[in-house]
Amino acid sequence: MKINLFAIALFMLAIHNVTAQSTFDKWPAIKEFHSVMSQTFHPAEEGNLQPIKTRSEELMNKASALLKTGIPEEFGTAAVYASAEKLQLKSKALHKLVLAKGSDAEITKSLTELHDVFHDIVGLCSEKH
């Protein structure tokens, strides 16, 4: 399962590499979110939940910043706004789960769902190019 998740992540990175890079350049808040997401999600894929357990609040704050700092006009579709709101809600739920000392399985599931929403946003922004 770990290999499959890793292969999927590499595939998604390859697909979005060029457009994601330009998306990240144009939208610093999504780049900052991605930085924390990658530093917490990839260890979780290997069974190490310590990074997300110690950085869930930071991840939540980065998700919140996406809406507070504003979505660049070229990405400002209803779908991107809806996904950014979903990202914010799911990051809050993940942080609450960590604070409540949820099970590793629950935390992993919540983090994976959050990661999927992040990739939805990047994909929606890539469609604009």
Tokens describing residue 39:
């530093």
Give CA–CA dist 51/111, Å, rounded: 11
Q: Which amino acid is at 31?
A: K
Give CA–CA dist 78/37, Å, rounded: 23
* Residue-wise pLDDT tens digits, 62-119: 999 998 988 999 999 999 999 999 999 999 999 999 999 999 999 999 999 999 999 9
* Residue-wise pLDDT tens digits, 77-91: 999 999 999 999 999
Half-sphere exposure of 124 (CA within 13 A, CB side): 20
- What is the model's pTM? 0.81
Tokens describing residue 81:
């706004």
Give CA–CA dist 118/63, Å, rounded: 9
Looking up tokens 């942080």 gives 95
Q: Give the CA angle between residues 61, 34, 52 to the nearest 5°.
A: 60
Looking up tokens 């310590």 gives 50
Question: How confident is the model at residue 1, as a pLDDT?
Answer: 47
